[in-house]
Amino acid sequence: MPEFRPSHFGLCVSDLERSLRFYVDGLGFEAADSFDLDSESAPGLDRSLEVPGRVRITSQFVTRDTMTIELLHFAEPGVVGDPSAVRNRRGLTHMSFYVDDVDGAAEHLVAHGATVLPDTRSSVGVEILFLTDPDGVRVELMALPPSA
């Protein structure tokens, strides 16, 4: 079997600065490499991104521990569509983070652009709460019960 080494996953964002505030200031990621790319100076970029026509994009990587996210901001042709609002929709459904205090973590993230989804709170041996990033991508906060 070939060896596969995790690299990153990409999120298309409508406002890069707003998303950096959420992921860097809110979740504690660090801004890493950033690339401004254009299909005119990088022929084939439109094909590799599966976006027909002229493409102008900023690719901003953010890292935390072993997780790397590529925030993709399309200046041209612009951002379209909506993220998954239910977990049974094909594709990326959410990101998950362990926290010591679900309510405190949620309050902190709201101050950095998140929206709490109050109907998603549950406690099934593990307390969880979903919220959204500034573009509506689901983020799960999960607290393990205190050890006995």
Confidence of residue 9 (pLDDT cuts 50, 70, 90): very high
Q: What angle do CA 4, 8, 13 make, to 5 degrees?
A: 150
Q: What angle do CA 74, 129, 71 make, to 5 degrees?
A: 15
pLDDT digit string, tens, across residues 59-100: 999 999 999 999 999 999 999 998 888 888 888 899 999 999
The number of domains in the chain is: 2
Average pLDDT on 133-139 reads: 95
Is 82 within the bounds of a domain? no
Determine which helix (DSSP H) or strand (DSSP E) holds 47, and give its type and residue range: helix 45-49
Give the mean pLDDT of the chain.
92
Containing domain of residue 35, as a range? 9-76
Q: Specify the pLDDT at position 148.
A: 46
pLDDT over threshold 70, residue 146: no
Q: Same structural domain for residues 15 and 70?
A: yes
